[in-house]
Chain A
Amino acid sequence: MKLSSSVFALLCLICEIVSIALFLRGFFPVPVKSSFSAKSKVNDFPAEPQTGSGPNSSKAPAPLFKRVVIVLIDALREDFVFGSDGRRFMPYTRHVVERGSSHSFIAKARPPTVTMPRIKALTTGSIPGFIDVVMNLNSPALLEDNLIWQAKSAGKRIIFYGDDTWVRLFPKHFMEHDGTTSFFVSDYTEVDNNVTRHLDGTLKRDDWDILILHYLGLDHIGHISGPHSSLIGPKLMEMDDIIKKIHSSLISKESEGTLPNLLVLCGDHGMSETGSHGGSSEPEINTPLVLISPAFKRKAGFEEPGVLEQVDLTPTLALGLGLPISKNSVGHLISAVFEELSLREQLRLLQINGHQLSRLLQDSSPTFHKEDGYEQFRMAEKSHGSWMKLYVDGNTSEVLSNMGKKVLKQYLEALKAMSSALSKQLGKYDMYSMIMGMIFILQVLFLLLLAMPEALSREAVVDVPLASSLLSLPFYLLCLFGSALHVLICTSAGGPCYLCSLPWVLVFIVILMSSAFTCALASMAARRMSTGNKTPTKSSNWTLSELDALLLVGMVGHTLSLGSSSFIEEEHQTWYFLLNTLCLAVFQDVCRKYFREQRHRGEEEDEGPLLPSSAKEGPSFSPAAELGMSPGSEKWLALATPLLTLTCCRLLRSLNQTGVQWAHLPDFGHWLNSGDHKAFLSLLAVVSLVLIFLLVQRHCSLVSKIALALGLLGVYSYRAAVGNVLFPWQHSSRAVSKGTVEARFVYVFVLGILFTGVKDLLRSQVMSSAVDSGRLKSRGLWEVYSGVVLLVALLFRAHNLPTLACCLLIQTIMAQFIWKKLHYDAAQTTIMHYWFGQAFFFFQGNSNNIGTVDISVGFVGLESYVEAPAIFLTALSTYAGPLLWACHLLCFLSSQRDRAVMGLGHGSYCFALLRSIPAVFYVVLVTSLRYHLFIWSVFSPKLLYEAMHTLITTAVCLFFTFMDQERSARP
């Protein structure tokens, strides 16, 4: 099957998008969530069976504890308390665990074992999914139903000291708080002193109900020197003293007639043998959980602590405080805590917990009837009812207590089954889908790479041996093998699996395609080998210029840099750096072009001054002449171009500070937006808009020029209406409106210009003369381009308009003096466009963090939020930089008479390759780093950006292919 380069690139990109989508589906499992976003209320409690339907029947159970102190020690490993370290360094805690009235357990934390999701798990009782966290990056406050919210709305007074993640998650929830930043990992004393210094005062007071302490020092020590360092011992002793202090204070406050207090000692996650955390190794997920209260029976000696899930603490604490269990909690009650209660009360609490779990199960799984736990719970509820009947009747025989114990056991089993059914659905990567997506995307990449010599040849035609491979034997064998594997995996898979839930036909098509790809790849590789052996000399005469070397090194370097989380956070630095070097390399090329000629002429004069020689004008066409300048000045303009570009880039760089490490530094954009400098911002906006008009109008027809001018005026009046800039002729302070009318006015012109452009493009199809049609087509393309520019000008914030103007300026001068004059080929030009596009993505203030996406763009010209246009506009404005450069590349390549023939094909092929290499590398990388500490604070958002960028590139390639098809359709 013979395909032109552009069609080939487009098909590859489409396959890539599909496989990335599959990968993402596996990477971000759908979290278990109640379909109602409301929070649990007290009157949601189920009625206690057989007590009539009076108002008392569904009242909340009485609280068990008066006050609760939660001591959360970050990265407290299980053996720090229960192991030999605990015996040595935490004597008091060990004594309480062994002899005191306490319960101790090993609580298993779910990966990712990182602080923030663990705090979320402890407070909501759910297990946060990755997509959940990524989606919540914009609003760090926890909106889900949680224990803290429940406590606060029940009127409990909460005090918090420790890691400021809590303060960010629960703003305004605490009566008193002092957050400590965990940013400086090297400090392990101050962070804890900051918590402890409040302790004495707080313990003396009586005005609080819940005290939460989150100690960070141990985690920091782990990060610095690991779990066996000499710093661990003193830290654990310090913690032991704190436990002792709190415990004795609580005991001294204990008085007859009031409820007992509860002290909870727990860790959010453990610590691996190297001292880090985030993964799922045993020492990382096993944390101690010690509950200390006079309400419990005294221990006789050390018993092996029982194992439970970390989320089990949430319903236990909720019911212990007489609060409703939060909606998405998947844990079940720790029955030991309640064993001193009467049987009736115990059954009641278990019923409440079971009711909540069964509701969640109904919401999250369509096949909840088939779950064992659900059935068991129904049974248990029934026997609970008959037990209550006997109880209300006043029966107090042994039969009753035996029967009650049976009901209790039934309940416990039902709870356990439901809880595990719920947690099975989440917190797991769907590895099968991920690996299939990865295999696909790798196949596509190899296909692209193998096709490189053909795709970049003069014919720009790729021959994919698909038909022959469809008839080969290995293809059928592979299909069989794939199907067998699929059946095997799906029947044995433990967790949820997206591919297995797909219809059989779809999966079979997937297997067919994968096998066909493999066969095609093999035969292409074989063909390449044989031609490579035949003509080995062909590659040696292809020399690498400095610029080619730089472009290659840059691409490889950037791709490799994605392996480091800092380089992802600071990716803009990589691009700015590469772009600068590129400009300098281009500058050197220009110098070489203009000065070497001179040197050949002026070799005899040894120390002569550097006079501009009157360079011979080869071609009759000269860009300088077109701009109305003398031909002699063209050389100086060409020399000035890279320098001007460098200056522009340097200025833009300080316009929007982005990234993480230096994001807090003041930048020019903030200065402009601060309100005091509105006049300056207005002036800058006007200058930018005028510059945009001057730069864009050159290629357009008269009608489009007028439309463009009016449209840009509209942009300014929109910004004035929204209140960003000043209206010079209207001094009365107008009320700030939403500017809907103005924005729609601009939309009309955008559509008008786009329509004119498309009309020209279509008309060029039916023209008879090739020259005329070529000119018309080029004009049509430029008009479409100016339509896009106008739309982007509307969407960009006022302080970003200079970015757009600089973008257009650089495009114009580079095209005039560099790309045309220095005869860079289509591949080199494409790579440079790609680099510029990437740099402009960051120049406009984006970063690899979801938080920097400007969502307000979705409301431009709309009265209210409408999903489809809002998403489109947001995507357009976020990716404006790469998009504009890609559009410019298209216009530039097709306006080049001499190489338009294969230029477009080469361009779109290079674009596809440039996008595929980092995307594929990144997908593989993320798979291998899926237990990394920063997996979803850094790597997952970047994955979403990569996927989105690939989608945008596919759209651009589609446009390329259309233009290329028009060309090839003509004789």
Chain B
Amino acid sequence: MWDVEIRGMASAHAIIASSIFMATVMPAVFVENFSVYGTHMVWLYCMAGSVAVVNIAVFWLLGISPPTKKHTVSYKINRLFRSCLYFILSCLFFHTVVVLYGAPLLESALETFSLAVLLSTLTTLRCLCILGPNVQAWIRVFSRDGAMSVWDTSLQITTGCSVIGAWLGAFPIPLDWDRPWQVWPISCTLGATTGFLTGLLAAPVWIHWHRKQLTYKLK
């Protein structure tokens, strides 16, 4: 049972990772002079979009999302509406945090917000897919020893890795190298993406390695 779950997760992660790869390669066909630095915003939106779509599709197909108690249409619409609201709130939250970290307030606000959208896609969207719009469950997962399934652990790892990646990505900005990737917010988005990919890779490996120690409460 363990191996099945881990294998399922690994393949899901592989699909998501390949979607990032595709988002980097595919637009070159459609967009003139496409490059990660030159047309950074296009790349960013492509990637965020594809990650979002693939995430939703994968988790919907796998049926990871928590079972809903009611099956009425209005309840589902309510859930969808709340998910969207949470997503937008999380974008605003990340935007605020990035501004607090020193991003300019008005100048390049679009770039900052794009970074916030990317971070939300990499973190909040996965939370919404796996846990649903349920704040209590989120708090449970992100407090110590709160993971109750393999997916919770993978969520912890990928979210942490993405945020730390973005955090580390801010370090090269003050260097006076005048490289194209030092332009705001390229290094941060690259850091977040790298962190996310690392998280996707690390989560199955880590869980496989620690499968003896991991004891989840039964649902």
With beta carbons under 8 angstroms apart, the residue of B100, B134, B143, B173 that contacts A607 is B134
Min C-beta distance of A350 to chain B, whole Å: 48
With beta carbons under 8 angstroms apart, the residue of B105, B139, B176, B177 that contacts A595 is B139
Report whether B97 and A608 are in contact in the complex, using a CB–CB cutoff of 8 Å.
no
Report whether A573 and B100 are in contact in the complex, using a CB–CB cutoff of 8 Å.
no
Report whether B175 and A567 are in contact in the complex, using a CB–CB cutoff of 8 Å.
yes
Q: Mark A186-197, 1 if CB is under 8 A from B, else 0.
A: 100000000000
Report whether B175 and A580 are in contact in the complex, using a CB–CB cutoff of 8 Å.
no
Q: Mark B129-163, 1 if CB is under 8 A from A, else 0.
A: 00000111001100110000000000000000000
Q: Which of A547-584 contact B (CB under 8 A)?
A: 564-567, 569-570, 573-574, 576-577, 580-581, 584
CA gap between A602 and B134 in the complex, in Å: 14
CA gap between A186 and B174 in the complex, in Å: 18
Min C-beta distance of B66 to chain A, whole Å: 10
With beta carbons under 8 angstroms apart, the residue of B100, B105, B136, B178 that contacts A646 is B100
Q: Mark A581-608, 1 if CB is under 8 A from B, else 0.
A: 1001000000010011001001000111
- Is A136 in contact with chain B by the CB < 8 A criterion? no
Residues of B within 8 A of A573 (CB): 102, 173-174
Min C-beta distance of B202 to chain A, whole Å: 18
- Is B30 in contact with chain A by the CB < 8 A criterion? no
Q: Which of B110-136 contact A (CB under 8 A)?
A: 134-136
Q: Which of B172-216 contact A (CB under 8 A)?
A: 173-178
Residues of A within 8 A of B101 (CB): 576-577, 580
CA gap between A564 and B139 in the complex, in Å: 40
Report whether A599 and B102 are in contact in the complex, using a CB–CB cutoff of 8 Å.
no
- Is B45 in contact with chain A by the CB < 8 A criterion? no
Residues of B within 8 A of A654 (CB): 105
| Interface SS majority for chain A | helix
Residues of A within 8 A of B170 (CB): 577
Q: Which of A582-639 contact B (CB under 8 A)?
A: 584, 592, 595-596, 599, 602, 606-608, 610
> Contacts A564-B175, A661-B174: A584 and B97 contacting too (C-beta < 8 A)?
yes
Report whether A592 and B143 are in contact in the complex, using a CB–CB cutoff of 8 Å.
yes
With beta carbons under 8 angstroms apart, the residue of B99, B139, B174 that contacts A570 is B174
> Contacts A567-B174, A573-B102, A650-B99: A581 and B167 contacting too (C-beta < 8 A)?
yes
Report whether A610 and B135 are in contact in the complex, using a CB–CB cutoff of 8 Å.
yes
Residues of A within 8 A of B144 (CB): 592
CA gap between A721 and B176 in the complex, in Å: 43
Residues of B within 8 A of A596 (CB): 143
With beta carbons under 8 angstroms apart, the residue of A592, A606, A650 that contacts B102 is A650
Which residue of A has the minimal Cβ distance to B175? A566
With beta carbons under 8 angstroms apart, the residue of B99, B100, B139 that contacts A599 is B139
Report whether A566 and B140 are in contact in the complex, using a CB–CB cutoff of 8 Å.
no
Q: Which of A706-762 contact B (CB under 8 A)?
A: none
Report whether B178 and A186 are in contact in the complex, using a CB–CB cutoff of 8 Å.
yes
Report whether A661 and B100 are in contact in the complex, using a CB–CB cutoff of 8 Å.
no
Residues of A within 8 A of B167 (CB): 581
With beta carbons under 8 angstroms apart, the residue of B97, B136, B176 that contacts A661 is B176
CA gap between A4 and B157 in the complex, in Å: 44
CA gap between A595 and B144 in the complex, in Å: 12
Number of A-B contacts (CB under 8 A): 53
Min C-beta distance of A790 to chain B, whole Å: 31
Report whether B174 and A599 are in contact in the complex, using a CB–CB cutoff of 8 Å.
no
With beta carbons under 8 angstroms apart, the residue of B102, B173, B178 that contacts A576 is B102
Q: Mark A377-404, 1 if CB is under 8 A from B, else 0.
A: 0000000000000000000000000000
CA gap between A659 and B176 in the complex, in Å: 12
Which residue of B has the minimal Cβ distance to A581? B167
CA gap between A606 and B144 in the complex, in Å: 19
Report whether B174 and A647 are in contact in the complex, using a CB–CB cutoff of 8 Å.
no
Which residue of A has the minimal Cβ distance to B170? A577
Residues of A within 8 A of B135 (CB): 610
CA gap between A595 and B140 in the complex, in Å: 10
Q: Which of B170, B174, B177, B178 has the most CB of A within 10 A?
A: B174
CA gap between A501 and B11 in the complex, in Å: 74
Min C-beta distance of A642 to chain B, whole Å: 11
> Contacts A570-B174, A581-B167, A661-B174: A650 and B100 contacting too (C-beta < 8 A)?
yes
CA gap between A962 and B170 in the complex, in Å: 43
CA gap between A596 and B102 in the complex, in Å: 31
CA gap between A907 and B134 in the complex, in Å: 43
Which residue of B has the minimal Cβ distance to A186? B178
Which residue of A has the minimal Cβ distance to B103? A650
Which residue of A has the minimal Cβ distance to B69? A606
Residues of A within 8 A of B143 (CB): 592, 595-596, 599
Min C-beta distance of B175 to chain A, whole Å: 5
Q: Mark B91-107, 1 if CB is under 8 A from A, else 0.
A: 00000010111100100
Min C-beta distance of B176 to chain A, whole Å: 5
CA gap between A595 and B136 in the complex, in Å: 10
Q: Which of B102, B135, B144, B175 has the most CB of A within 10 A?
A: B102
CA gap between A610 and B138 in the complex, in Å: 13
CA gap between A608 and B170 in the complex, in Å: 38
Which residue of B has the minimal Cβ distance to A609? B135
Residues of B within 8 A of A186 (CB): 178
CA gap between A595 and B135 in the complex, in Å: 12
Residues of A within 8 A of B97 (CB): 584
- Is A653 in contact with chain B by the CB < 8 A criterion? yes
Q: Which of B48-69 contact A (CB under 8 A)?
A: none
Residues of B within 8 A of A584 (CB): 97
Min C-beta distance of A550 to chain B, whole Å: 11
Report whether A566 and B176 are in contact in the complex, using a CB–CB cutoff of 8 Å.
yes
Which residue of B has the minimal Cβ distance to A592? B143
**Among all A-B residue pairs, the 6 with the closest Cβ atoms:** A570-B174, A566-B175, A566-B176, A646-B100, A573-B174, A650-B100
29 contacts between A and B (CB under 8 A): A186-B178, A564-B175, A565-B176, A566-B176, A567-B174, A567-B175, A569-B174, A569-B176, A573-B102, A573-B174, A574-B174, A577-B101, A577-B170, A580-B100, A580-B101, A581-B167, A592-B144, A595-B139, A599-B139, A599-B140, A606-B136, A608-B136, A646-B100, A650-B100, A650-B102, A653-B102, A654-B105, A659-B174, A661-B174
Interface residues of A (CB under 8 A from B): 186, 564-567, 569-570, 573-574, 576-577, 580-581, 584, 592, 595-596, 599, 602, 606-608, 610, 646-647, 649-650, 653-654, 659, 661
| Extra A-B contacts (12), CB below 8 Å, given A186-B178, A606-B136 | A566-B175, A570-B174, A577-B101, A592-B143, A599-B136, A599-B140, A602-B136, A607-B134, A647-B100, A649-B100, A650-B100, A653-B102
Interface residues of B (CB under 8 A from A): 97, 99-102, 105, 134-136, 139-140, 143-144, 167, 170, 173-178
